[in-house]
Amino acid sequence: MIDMPTGTDAYVQKGQDLSEQLSAKRADMRLRKFDTIAVHGIYGMQEALNNHGSIIEPIFTSSAQHFESSDHLETALAYQMPAWGYTRIGNPSTHYLEQTLSLLEGYDFAGEVDAVATSSGMAAIFMATNPFLMQEAKSELNFVASGKCYGGAFMLFSERYEKEKGVDVRWVRNNLNLSEWEASIDKNTRFIYTEMPSNPGLAVTDISALAELAHSHNIPLIVDSTLASPALMRPLSFGADIVIHSLSKVMGASGMSIAGAVLSRRNIMSKTGPDELRENFAQYVKLLPARDFGPALSPFNAVMILNDLRSLRGRVDQMSQSTMQVAKALTEMPGVERVNYPGLTSFEGHAVAKNYMQLVDSTDKRYGHMLSFTVKNGVEATRAAFDKLQMIWRATDLGRVKTVAVVPAISTHQQQGEAGRAVADVPANLIRLSVGLEHPQDVIDDLSQALDS
């Protein structure tokens, strides 16, 4: 017999009980190590028993949830009890992913972390930034962003926000020059945005210093840390307010789905928006702007990402060690001009990277799976080397278990044009390389035969 509460008060009470159970489960998991959280998330034995005993999180492809009664429906849709209702707003499979992500990103962080999953990394960037761009009477909105960012972010900011909406986008050229950030901020600045490390230049940011600067102006710091993943760096514990991930990359390394996430600490600073935005940004986005814009993640993709997350730490460790070997080998190849990799002592941002990037639950410095390098003798030589790759895939992709290379100026950063590429520091002879789980010697051999002419 199902115990059927009557009246919405009873459902509100039931909702409080369910929320307390979730909090207790999260508190329990927060005592565990990173790998254990990655493997289990909040999906424990009790949850499994509610799911026919399934030890793997089920994929709920249902578009909607059935309600017991009008009171149940009313309470749920008033957001007064945990429910999912309709997959655009929530879904049990997506919920398991969001809970796992928030525990991983909040690992070792004293406060609570919340997450909303999105249909792509770009949707996450949009949902993390657009809520701050509310047009207030007579104010000229602006935000300050690192020019060294993902091509998609560059286009969203410069085309959609600046050209279409008139938002003033203030690009910072040198992430490590704090006074350049400071000089760009004024009373109409709504947030600060950076990528750490950046794609494809691997530029680094002193997150703590930038967070302090943002907070002194009562605005949030938003960090895209896709390349690092929580296995190497968790920006919230360095003072960032909002973290963005493209889950399509190393967190979803098998490359079978596109997904993203926005994660936030509680009680962020903002000059704009309702109290709910400040109190719990990710939940606010999930329940309101994401409901209205509709960038919901497919539940199928949510479980695909969950599966990849389980082995995140070990994979990032192996990929980082291989990338370090490949980076060193590249520095010795005669056809190579310059290698960008935060792990190289010769790299400009090495000292800062060393302060921020470390394999979780270890003392091992690790610098991630991506590097980029410039090729001597110009664009033609660059394309020729790229075309000679035999095993390394030519694709606009990264974070894969398979090694992938791309020439950003003719692909990921093509549409932003030459002036835009100058801001982003993406020269035409740059090759971006994302090192996978193959034996590093095979990757080095393929590069060396391609560059040997």
Ligand X SMILES: *Cc1c(COP(=O)(O)O)cnc(C)c1O
Query: Is 248 a binder of ligand X (CB under 6 A)?
Result: yes
Query: Is 199 a binder of ligand X (CB under 6 A)?
Result: yes
Q: Which residue has the tokens 């020019």?
A: 147
Please name which of 357, 361, 362, 359 lies closest in space to residue 341, comparing C-alpha atoms: 357
Q: Are strands 404-406 and 336-340 parallel, antiparallel or unpaired?
A: unpaired
Which pair of structure tokens corresponds to residue 395? 């694709």
Query: Is 122 a binder of ligand X (CB under 6 A)?
Result: yes
Binding mask 258-297 toward ligand X (x if CB under 6 A, else -) reads x-x-------------------------------------
Which pair of structure tokens corresponds to residue 301? 């993709």
Among 41, 121, 131, 295, binds ligand X (CB under 6 A): 121
The separation between the first and the last C-alpha atoms of the chain, rounded to the nearest angstrom, is 76
**Span near ligand X by CB under 6 A; candidates 242-250, 284-292, 294-302, 349-357:** 242-250
**In the complex with ligand X, which residue's Cβ is closer, 118 or 321?**
118
Angle between helix axes 92-105 and 7-29 (nearest 10 degrees) is 40
**In the complex with ligand X, which residue's Cβ is closer, 313 or 432?**
432
**Span near ligand X by CB under 6 A; candidates 39-47, 117-125, 231-239, 268-276:** 117-125
Please name which of 173, 261, 229 lies closest in space to residue 370, comparing C-alpha atoms: 229
Angle at 401 between CA 343 and CA 108, to 5 degrees: 55
CB of 43 to ligand X, least distance (A): 24
Binding mask 70-109 toward ligand X (x if CB under 6 A, else -) reads ----------------------------------------
**In the complex with ligand X, which residue's Cβ is closer, 251 or 451?**
251
Query: Is 246 a binder of ligand X (CB under 6 A)?
Result: yes
- C-alpha–C-alpha distance, residues 253 and 155, integer Å: 25
**Span near ligand X by CB under 6 A; candidates 92-100, 182-190, 224-232, 419-427:** 224-232
- C-alpha–C-alpha distance, residues 105 and 108, integer Å: 9
Among 120, 270, 301, 372, binds ligand X (CB under 6 A): 120
Which pair of structure tokens corresponds to residue 157? 């900011």
CB of 133 to ligand X, least distance (A): 18
If binding means CB under 6 A, how many residues of this protein chain bind ligand X?
15
Query: Is 372 a binder of ligand X (CB under 6 A)?
Result: no
CB of 405 to ligand X, least distance (A): 14
- C-alpha–C-alpha distance, residues 129 and 191, integer Å: 8
**Span near ligand X by CB under 6 A; candidates 58-66, 163-171, 219-227, 332-340:** 219-227
Does an H or E element contain 181, and which?
Answer: helix 178-184
| Rg of the chain (C-alpha set) | 22
Cα dist from 277 to 128, 222, 269, 284, 290, whole Å: 11, 14, 9, 6, 13
**In the complex with ligand X, which residue's Cβ is closer, 127 or 326?**
127
CB of 121 to ligand X, least distance (A): 2
CB of 62 to ligand X, least distance (A): 25
Query: Is 195 a binder of ligand X (CB under 6 A)?
Result: yes
CB of 109 to ligand X, least distance (A): 21
Among 105, 114, 206, 224, binds ligand X (CB under 6 A): 224
Which pair of structure tokens corresponds to residue 233? 């760096």
Query: Is 249 a binder of ligand X (CB under 6 A)?
Result: yes
Query: Is 226 a binder of ligand X (CB under 6 A)?
Result: yes
Angle at 386 between CA 420 and CA 348, to 5 degrees: 55
Residue nearest to ligand X (CB): 121
Which pair of structure tokens corresponds to residue 280? 């719990």
**Span near ligand X by CB under 6 A; candidates 22-30, 41-49, 244-252, 435-443:** 244-252
Burial label, 408 (beta-carbon count in 10 A; 0-12, 13-18, 19+): buried
Which residues have a Cβ under 8 Å from the Cβ of 443 and sit 6 or more positions away? Answer: 322, 326, 391, 392, 403, 435, 436
**Contacting positions for ligand X (CB under 6 A):** 120-122, 150, 152, 195, 199, 224, 226-227, 246, 248-249, 258, 260
